[in-house]
Amino acid sequence: MLGMPAHRENFQATYRTENEPWEYSSSGAERLRYKLTVELARRFKLQLGRVLEVGCGLGLMTCRLAVAAENVTAIDISVLAVQKCWAQLGGELPNVRFAVATLTDPTLELSAFDVIFYCDGLVGHQLSDQELKLVSNNMIKMLSKDGIIILSDYLGHQQFAAYRQLIASLGFEVLHEELPHDRLWFQLKSWLRLFKTFGPVRRVLASERLAKRLAWLSAQRGAEGSKHLCLVVRPQVPQGGFS
Ligand SMILES: C[S@@+](CC[C@H](N)C(=O)[O-])C[C@H]1O[C@@H](n2cnc3c(N)ncnc32)[C@H](O)[C@@H]1O
């Protein structure tokens, strides 16, 4: 049971009409975010064994996970995204499997993941309170013992406190926070948006070196210098411990 037909159709339509809806592959800052989230997982798990990626999109993160982890399950609500992700990875890979699925599905049978990556999705998927609860229940059910979840969302610093509260209300404890300090990069992208198809502008926005320099400058503003907030979380331990 997949559910969410209107929501699914929105994403399907986006993938039908746009080659690369979020232009992540030509974005230096997004590539740094992919690196950061994999590094974060590695800091907490020396071995990335079984990994679930939720909302795999075109597979830019999936490609990295396919190398970093033993086994990857990549899911997306859009069948077109899953097909494109599969193609991006060059078809069958022995350690990657794909599924058209959403964590709002209470009948989903996936389990024992060491790490769940839910990146640019928990907020972006615009889930109702009830759907968020289904997602968090599924994540808790699907984690192996000592499993962790890596979250990243595009928010802006004014929303960071509310985001932390949301995560706590869903039953998770934050183990670590990381700010990619990407605000100046997104500012630059917005200034250049009218010229984004010009070669030199594309190269500027694709440059990881520039994205890193802008991150250093943005970091001088502390949390205000970040649009994304990345969290490492795990299910809250009930008082008295797990039985
Ligand atoms: C903004 S893209 C992010 C892609 C990828 N996670 C990344 O960080 O590059 C959001 C993706 O989530 C998918 N999606 C939207 N709602 C979803 C849901 N409820 N369950 C699973 N995937 C969903 C969309 O089809 C889209 O591919």
With a 6 A CB cut-off, is 189 part of the ligand 1 pocket?
A: no
Residue 65 confidence class, pLDDT cut points 50, 70, 90: very high
Distance 19 CA to ligand 1 centre (A): 15
Domain residue limits, the chain: 5-182+227-235
Using most ligand atoms within 8 A of CB, pick from 54, 73, 131 the residue to mutate for ligand 1: 54
- pLDDT at position 222 over 80: yes
Check: CB of residue 234 under 8 Å from CB of residue 172.
yes
Question: Each residue of 168-202: pLDDT tens digit?
Answer: 999 999 999 999 999 999 999 999 999 988 999 99
pTM of the full structure? 0.95
Residue 102 near residue 77 (C-beta atoms within 8 A): yes
Q: Which CATH class is domain 5-182+227-235?
A: alpha beta
Q: 129-167, pLDDT tens digit by residue?
A: 999 999 999 999 999 999 999 999 999 999 999 999 999
Ligand 1 atom with the shortest distance to the CA of 53: 6
pLDDT, tens only, 111-134: 899 999 999 999 999 899 999 999
Indicate whether residue 125 lines ligand 1 (CB < 6 A): yes
Question: 239 C-alpha vs ligand 1 centroid, how far in Å?
Answer: 34
Whole-angstrom distance, CA of residue 133 vs CA of residue 127: 9
Kindly give the number of the ligand 1 atom that is closest to the alpha carbon of 24. Answer: 9
Please give the structure tokens belonging to residue 189: 């992208």
Question: What is the number of the ligand 1 atom nearest to the C-alpha of 61?
Answer: 9
> What is the whole-number distance in angstroms between the Cα of residue 149 and the centre of ligand 1?
16
Contacts of 221 (CB under 8 A, 6+ apart): 183
Give CA–CA dist 54/127, Å, rounded: 14
Task: Tell me the CA–centroid distance for residue 242 and ligand 1, in Å.
Answer: 32
